[in-house]
Amino acid sequence: MSCGYRFRGGSKLTLDQVWTMYQQGKQTIAEISNQTGLSASTIKRTLSKIKFDWVQPIPKGEGVVHLDATYFGRNTGVLLAIESGSARLLYMKHIGHEHISDYVEAVDYIAAGGYVIKGIVVDGLQQLFIAFKGDKIQMCQFHMVAIVRRKLTKNPQLKAGRELLDLIYRIKAMEEEDFLVAFAQWKLRWHDFLKEKTIIESTGKAIFTHQRLRSAMTSITHYLPYLFTYKEVEGMPNTNNLIEGTFTDMKKNLRTHPGMSAENRIRMINGYFLVYLKEHNVSVSDR
């Protein structure tokens, strides 16, 4: 496919070559212009001719699914499903807001094609644990740590807070029974302290004195049934790091080209994941 232009040396520059320089090579329009000798306006016109239509892959086989969404602008995001281990792309969808129905649609699509979902790894959106109650679901331990740290801060002033933060930091190296016992002991040790209340003078209303500490405890309690599912499912990791790494790489591509229109951003993302498909997705028979 030719764009009808020649660059230094006389060779014809194809649309594919321009796109490869722009997207995979992470070159700006100015850099491409300098390298090829073509004007910036010519490069822009060439890029505007490139179209990418996204068609969902049809996954086969079985495995653990990483499921998450990320955003990079107002009302602009991507929902992604990736197979653990192989990093195969199972599903991608452009989304404006985070809705549980989008996650359910993704899982239903993957399963409808014959793929057997052994388990799902998610980052903590609470309604997901209701939507996928029939599946083996793992709460990302990295995000569990982040939730608790956000509530307690990195340097809690209270001894109870320091103990709880230390416990959640050690979760990755602990067996489920050991963590459950340690958490129960912590709650028992600080039982009375956690129930302390303070009277608000202006209203006379009593509120819990250590609200952030209680909130951290409540978060752990809520996710507790899903923190060690990976021990039950072969090949299931305890974090969602695989999909987070994919999002990070995609955003690096986008940051190279600031100021893109919504249409260009969608085209860029489609192009990124089409390349991703070629690099990571192979037939089940080849695996």
Does residue 166 belong to any structural domain of this protein?
yes
Give yes or no: residues 123 and 243 share one domain.
yes
Are residues 186 and 77 both part of a single domain?
no
For residue 187, is it within any domain?
yes
| 39 and 76 part of one domain | no
- Amino acid, res. 71: Y
Domain count, the chain: 3
Distance CA 266, CA 286 (A): 31
The answer to the question of residue 227 being in a domain is: no
Q: How far apart are CA 139 and CA 124, in angstroms?
A: 6
Q: 149: which 2 tokens?
A: 């740290």
What stretches in the chain show pLDDT beneath 70? Answer: 1-12, 23-25, 282-287
Residue 283 confidence (pLDDT): 46
Does 152 share its domain with 33? no
CATH number of domain containing 245: 3.30.420.10
Do 241 and 196 belong together in one domain?
Answer: no
Q: Give me the domain span that covers residue 205.
A: 145-222
How far CA 185 is from CA of 190, 206, 217, in Å, comes to: 9, 27, 12
Give the number of other CB atoms < 10 A from CB of residue 241: 14
149 in the same domain as 130? no
Does residue 231 lie within any of the structural domains? no
Is 214 part of any domain? yes
187 lies in the same domain as 243: no
One domain for residues 165 and 28: no
According to the model, what pLDDT value does residue 9 have? 46
User: Cα(214)–Cα(216) distance, rounded to whole angstroms?
Assistant: 5
CA distance 94 to 275: 17
Beta-ladder partners of 89: 82
Q: What is the pLDDT of residue 282?
A: 61
Residues 121/240, Cβ–Cβ less than 8 Å? yes
Q: How many angstroms separate the CA atoms of 281 and 275, rounded?
A: 10
Quickly tell me which residue has 């416990």 as its tokens.
167
Residues 149 and 187 in one domain: yes
Instruction: Clarify whether residues 66 and 44 are in a common domain.
Output: no
The tokens 């049809």 sit on which residue? 58
Return d(Cα 243, Cα 122) in angstroms, integer: 10
- DSSP element (H, E) containing 207: strand 206-208
In a domain, 157, yes or no: yes
Give the span between the Cα atoms of 28 and 23, in whole angstroms.
9
- 123 and 76, same domain (yes or no): yes
Q: Are residues 127 and 243 in the same domain?
A: yes
Distance CA 7, CA 110 (A): 44
